[in-house]
Amino acid sequence: MSAHLDPRLLRAFLAVAEDLHFTRAATRLYVAQQALSRDVRRLERELGADLFVRTTRQVTLTPDGERLLPYARRALEAQDELLAAFGRADAERPLLVDVNSPGLVAERVLALARELAPDCELMTRFESGLTGAAAELLAGRLDASFGRFAGLDPAVRARLEQQPVRYEPMAVLLPEDHHLAALDVVPLDALAGERVYAGAGNPRTLEWTDLARQLFEGHGIEVAPPAPLAVGAEEFRRIMAKTRNPVLAVVGFPAMPAATLRPLVDPVPLSPVSLVWRKGLVHRGVEALRTAAARLAADEGWLKRPSEGWIPATDALIMMSRG
């Protein structure tokens, strides 16, 4: 047996033991039923014991499950008391959620999470880059964020948890009089000889600039040199209009005046988006975010990777993990 048991596994067990129904327990915990079943199976493996008898009609506790029940309750009560003593009781403080920038996919996940957990206060933050947000997560000044998890330093990733959310097709934002703006879609090789802005010089978006460099390699495309760091949508629009460089973006990027957004093809580059939170964080809002992300991904096919899609190998491995 493992020397450490994740409290989340005990919470999954306790919810099923109390409801004797996986679907109702999953709803109560704001998690997908598949994720709840996976946690229960993992706990059974770690304890080396079957905890439930499952049939098509009912769920019952085994003798080992009955034996575990009082221990699980005491362990979770002790953890809740500890968190409350340090002001960390999950429902008693807002959850600070970074959506990167207005209008992107993270805002949809947050909106659904608020519907799933209306008694939790989920507060929006705009950190504009997972590299910058990760530092805030580890410092405890932020609770959850979204972005390219593979672009973080491995030592940072080891202190965080992630759940894949979407393979987001990438696009290019062009000045409306650019010669490629007349196309419905822009083949990647058509950008040969261009300098494309991808956040170079911004220490908060290193994961995005790295993705761009890997995408552009071998296609004759340069990453545009650093531009003055723009804070806010209006400043970003002003600086981009001044430099007139194409901007690497995603298909859901908000519209900008005097600019045209065009999907990239041949191949279709994908921006891998994960929900990211601090390891060990206990908050019902995180579970609501995870459930919302899983539901939207399933309903809209966000995690179905296009056959013609491009993604770095490291990202592909991480995105195959379902958290």
Alpha-carbon distance of 143 to 125, in angstroms, equals 10
- Which residue shows structure tokens 């170079």? 200
| Torsion angles phi and psi, residue 229, rounded to 5 | -65, 115
Q: Which amino acid is at 228?
A: P
* pLDDT tens-digit readout, 70-115: 999 898 888 777 766 665 554 467 999 999 887 789 999 999 999 9
Cα–Cα nearest to 234, from 129, 98, 102, 107: 102
Nearest to 146 by CA among 101, 89, 83: 101
Count Cβ neighbours within 10 Å for each residue of 105-115 and write b for 16 or more, e otherwise: bbbbbbebbbe
- Compute CA 124 distance to the chain's CA centroid, rounded to the nearest angstrom: 15
Q: To the nearest 10°, the Cα dihedral for 125, 174, 319, 123? A: 10
Q: How far lies 276's CA from each of 116, 143, 189, 282, 288, in Å?
A: 19, 9, 33, 14, 13
Break the chain into its structural domains and give their ranges.
7-85, 90-167+271-320, 168-269
Q: Are 126 and 235 in contact (CB under 8 A)?
A: no
Domain 90-167+271-320: give its CATH architecture: 3-Layer(aba) Sandwich (3.40)
CA angle 202, 128, 321 (to 5 degrees): 105
pLDDT tens digits for range 40-68:
999 999 999 999 999 888 999 999 999 99
Separation in Å, CA 305 to CA 23, 167, 185, 285, 290: 28, 6, 19, 28, 20
**Per-residue pLDDT, 28:** 67
Amino acid 294: pLDDT: 93
Give yes or no on whether 7-85 and 90-167+271-320 have one common fold.
no
Can you tell me whether residue 299 is helix, strand or coil?
A: helix
Q: 161, 166, 7: which is closest to 72 by C-alpha?
A: 7
Q: Along the 323 residues of the chain, how does pLDDT read in single tens digits?
A: 556 788 889 989 998 998 899 988 887 666 678 888 999 999 999 999 999 999 888 999 999 999 999 999 898 888 777 766 665 554 467 999 999 887 789 999 999 999 999 988 999 998 779 999 999 998 888 999 999 999 999 999 999 999 999 999 999 999 888 999 999 999 999 999 999 999 888 888 999 999 999 999 999 999 988 776 666 666 666 766 677 789 999 998 887 788 899 999 999 999 999 999 988 888 889 999 999 999 999 999 999 998 889 999 999 999 987 54
Among 77, 55, 119, smallest CA distance to 287 is for: 119
What are the helix (H) ranges across 50-161?
A: 63-85, 105-116, 130-139, 154-157
- Considering the four listed CATH numbers 3.40.50.150, 3.20.20.60, 3.40.190.10, 3.40.630.30, the one that applies to the domain covering 168-269 is 3.40.190.10
Q: What is the pTM of this model?
A: 0.71
Check: CB of residue 271 under 8 Å from CB of residue 309: no
Instruction: State the DSSP code for 221.
Output: -
Q: What share of the chain is helix, strand, coil (3-state, %, to 5)?
A: 45, 20, 35
Q: What is the pLDDT of residue 36?
A: 87
Residue 155: DSSP 8-state? H
CATH architecture of 7-85: Orthogonal Bundle (1.10)
Strand ranges for the chain from DSSP E? 52-54, 59-61, 95-98, 122-125, 144-147, 160-175, 186-187, 195-196, 222-223, 247-250, 259-265, 268-278, 309-310
